A and B are shown apart, each in its own frame.
Chain A
């Protein structure tokens, strides 16, 4: 099938799997296990979820938006924005808690 020969299909598959993994990380344990709702900060889980989100974002920018074929300045802007976002979010999380 043509879809299976298209690399975008595999990018999408990766994105779906990482979405499910981050869901399991963030909520799965309380929802699937039927435990009491989690009411505690959890640095490891949070950083994991944020990293997954950043990797997913990078995949969308790189493959769907086709920045990987783009000019150097565009790739540079996109990557530095992503790094800035990740550092800001994690730093603010860590700084306050």
Chain B
């Protein structure tokens, strides 16, 4: 009897563990509608990036000339700002799962603060660019520059609205819906990863 029982327990144990593993593996954070949006948005941006690369190849000198007037330092700083913001929002999701709502709210405020700082720096960068006048012959590059950074700006602003809604959820609903918080975080990370690519393509590549 004992060996059989042990075997059964082992079997059950391993099965339970496997079941848990499968359950863990096959779940995505947040609501499916958000993933529908994120994947579609990534493909739309892929179209923009492909157009940019094609046009850049047609006239690489003009694009390089335009690129030289950008401040790579500001771009790198903004990248790190968004990465940090992403990390803080990821901490917030972890805290919500652990039930530490007060802590989650703190992480979320800090993460959102980084997002606001990103927007302010971006606006300052635009102001400097426009008031300095655009270099002649680099129009095509600057159409792309303002288009990409503008669209991204819009995405960050929308992300801040979403984070505000998440904050309201944390503040008013007890207990808050984890899936809703996760959806907001997923959107915010997408904004971050789009900027990583925009930074590489607009500011850095030669």
Please determine if A and B sit in direct contact within the complex, based on CB atoms under 8 angstroms apart: yes
Contacts of B168 in A (CB 8 A): none
Contact A89 B201 (CB under 8 A): yes
Contact A50 B192 (CB under 8 A): no
Contact B50 A92 (CB under 8 A): yes
Among B28, B50, B192, B206, which residue has its beta carbon within 8 angstroms of that of A88? B50
A19, A41, A46, A89: residue with the most chain B Cβ atoms closer than 10 Å: A19
Q: Name the distance in Å between A35's Cβ and chain B's nearest Cβ.
A: 12
Among B60, B64, B72, B87, which residue has its beta carbon within 8 angstroms of that of A8? B87
**Taking CB as reference atom, which chain A residue is nearest B24?**
A69
As a 0/1 sequence over residues 78 to 96 of chain A, the CB contacts with chain B under 8 angstroms (1 = contact) are 1001001100110011011
Interface size for B (C-beta < 8 A) is: 51
Contact A88 B53 (CB under 8 A): yes
| C-alpha spacing A97/B57, complex, angstroms | 6
Contact A20 B196 (CB under 8 A): no
Main secondary structure of the interface of B (DSSP, over half): helix
Contacts of B83 in A (CB 8 A): 12, 15-16, 19
Among B27, B53, B203, which residue has its beta carbon within 8 angstroms of that of A92? B53
As a 0/1 sequence over residues 1 to 39 of chain B, the CB contacts with chain A under 8 angstroms (1 = contact) are 000000000000000000000001111110000010001
Contacts of B127 in A (CB 8 A): none
Contacts of A28 in B (CB 8 A): 72
**Taking CB as reference atom, which chain B residue is nearest A52?**
B200
| C-alpha spacing A26/B190, complex, angstroms | 24
| C-alpha spacing A89/B198, complex, angstroms | 12
Contacts of B142 in A (CB 8 A): none
Among A53, A66, A72, A97, which residue has its beta carbon within 8 angstroms of that of B60? A97
**Taking CB as reference atom, which chain A residue is nearest B73?**
A31
Could you jot down 7 A-B contacts, CB within 8 Å?
A12-B87, A26-B72, A42-B206, A66-B29, A70-B25, A88-B50, A96-B57
Known A-B contacts: A19-B80, A26-B206. Give 10 more (CB < 8 A).
Answer: A12-B86, A15-B83, A23-B73, A45-B205, A49-B205, A53-B197, A53-B199, A64-B86, A77-B39, A88-B53
A-B pairs, top 9 by smallest CB distance, nearest first, are A96-B57, A26-B204, A27-B72, A53-B200, A92-B53, A70-B28, A42-B206, A23-B76, A12-B87
Using a CB–CB distance below 8 Å, which chain A residues touch chain B? 6, 8-9, 11-12, 15-16, 19-20, 22-23, 25-28, 31, 37-42, 45-46, 49-50, 52-53, 56-57, 60-61, 63-67, 69-72, 74, 77-78, 81, 84-85, 88-89, 92-93, 95-97
Using a CB–CB distance below 8 Å, which chain B residues touch chain A? 24-29, 35, 39, 42-43, 46, 49-50, 53-54, 56-58, 60-61, 64-65, 68, 72-73, 75-76, 79-80, 83-84, 86-87, 90-91, 94, 185-186, 189-190, 192-193, 196-197, 199-201, 203-206
